[in-house]
Amino acid sequence: MKADTDTIAAIATPPGRGGVGVIRISGKNLHPIAVALLGKLPQPRYATYCKFLDDQGLIIDQGIALYFPNPQSYTGEDVLELQGHGGPAVMNLLLNRCLAAGARLAQPGEFTLRAYLNNKIDLVQAESVADIIEASTAEAARCAVSSLQGHFSAKIDTLVQSLIALRTLVEATLDFPEEDIDQLYTPQITAQIAQIDSQLNRVFQSAQQGNLLQEGIKMVLIGAPNAGKSSLMNQLVEDDVAIVTEIAGTTRDTIERTIAIAGVPIHIVDTAGLRETNDSIERKGIERTLAAIKNANLVLRLIDCSQLALHEMDPIQKYIPTEKPQLTVFNKIDLIVATAKIEETEFGSAIYLSAKTGEGVELLRQKILEIAGWRFNRAGEGIIMARQRHLEALLNAQQHLMSAKALIQAGYQLELLAEELRLAQLNLSSITGEFTADDLLGAIFSQFCIGK
């Protein structure tokens, strides 16, 4: 994919009213547009107070103009930013003036795409721009900033360089088939593969943690009516977001909220109670509960421990797929005068708590993180902000290294070994965008907001 040569413009600040609004313009030569809007080309990298003019020379607004000539700009092209008053009407007038002067409206993520295509940033850094904007916790934001600074990319580059060195050694033996040097280099090749695999595994573990920070955990609360799902939802969210009554079937629809536990986003879904019912509205709610279970990473199965003991069969269990991670919560320990605790059952861990008093809720929070695979790390140190495609590429690279190991153990053919190492390198290089299909780039940048 090649960067377009035309000039693009967009409002770079969020929709709505604000103290300041920003128009961003990027292209090969902004001199004519700057003269049309400002009457001059501002001094590079200096904040210049200007009047923003329409095609009749009348003032649309007044504010600050910043000019960054290529290649020392965000996109690697000439960039002009106009900072005016942040009202929707004046911002749209100014944007339309830019379009009339020769620019076109930017597509979502097009400024960052141009930065990537002009080698200002790699693909991981480009994605981290969107991750910073979308970060729902402080820890996620810190990790995204770390990726923007190139820390993740540096780890991938180290692995790629190690693979290149190993491929050089392997392919050198292919150049001299008459020499019996493959056996000579076998111990060295084996040791290097083991070292690369160890490094790759550490990167993958860090990336898994970062993926949790970015994606979070989708957790659904299910149980019979009046098991205390809404009360537990309110305890976890620390707000009265769900109606709590003694009437069974009060919750008819799913209620979704996001909280953070140790910096990890937890997307909680409170659902309608599961039971047989002739109420058409309640049945609709139950259908949505089943859909929420299907999409969840973790199911919290609530049981009223004053009504159902640990050894008794819970009729709700049949609604949970066997492969779905779940955590059993025995609620209302305040009614049986019991203390909060954790026990192991045939279905996994069980926590005794009181959603009414809050006793045992902290045990639940920690258990949720444990099941999700989170390992506490102060300030996200060493964690890599990773997307699902990064994890898949790292896993694919690991699998090709495993195949390479197997070839050596089986008395390998050098051609097959060289191919496995090439594929491992190709997968790692796809993370930073060195080898990336155009359709993947389109999918990635289409998720950005306009103006970025």
Burial class (CB in 10 A: 0-12, 13-18, 19+), 72: exposed
User: Tens of pLDDT along the chain (452 residues)?
Assistant: 555 679 999 999 988 888 999 999 999 989 999 999 999 999 999 999 999 999 999 999 999 999 999 999 999 999 999 999 999 999 999 999 999 999 999 999 999 999 999 999 999 999 998 888 888 888 888 888 988 898 999 999 999 999 998 888 787 766 655 555 455 567 888 889 999 999 999 999 899 888 888 888 898 888 888 888 888 888 888 866 544 444 444 444 568 888 888 888 888 888 776 655 556 666 676 777 778 888 888 888 888 887 765 555 667 777 788 888 888 899 999 888 888 888 887 767 889 999 889 899 999 999 988 887 787 655 445 788 888 899 999 999 999 999 998 888 777 677 888 899 999 999 999 999 876 666 667 777 887 888 77
For the chain, the structural domain boundaries read 8-122, 128-213+387-433, 216-378
CATH of region 128-213+387-433, choose from 1.10.3720.10, 1.10.10.10, 1.20.120.430, 1.20.5.440: 1.20.120.430
Q: List, in order, residues 6 or more apart from 71 with CB less than 8 Å away.
A: 77, 118, 120
Most distant CA pair in the chain: distance in Å? 85
Give the whole-angstrom CA distance, residue 429 versus residue 417.
Answer: 19
Within 10 angstroms of residue 437's Cβ, the number of other Cβ atoms is: 10
- Which class is 216-378 in CATH? alpha beta
Q: Which amino acid is at 252?
A: R
Sheet of 264-270: strand order equals 255-261, 264-270, 217-223, 298-304, 326-331, 348-352, 341-345
- Check if CATH label 3.40.50.1370 holds for domain 8-122: no
Element (H, E) at 302: strand 298-304
**Are 75 and 115 contacting, i.e. CB atoms less than 8 angstroms apart?**
yes
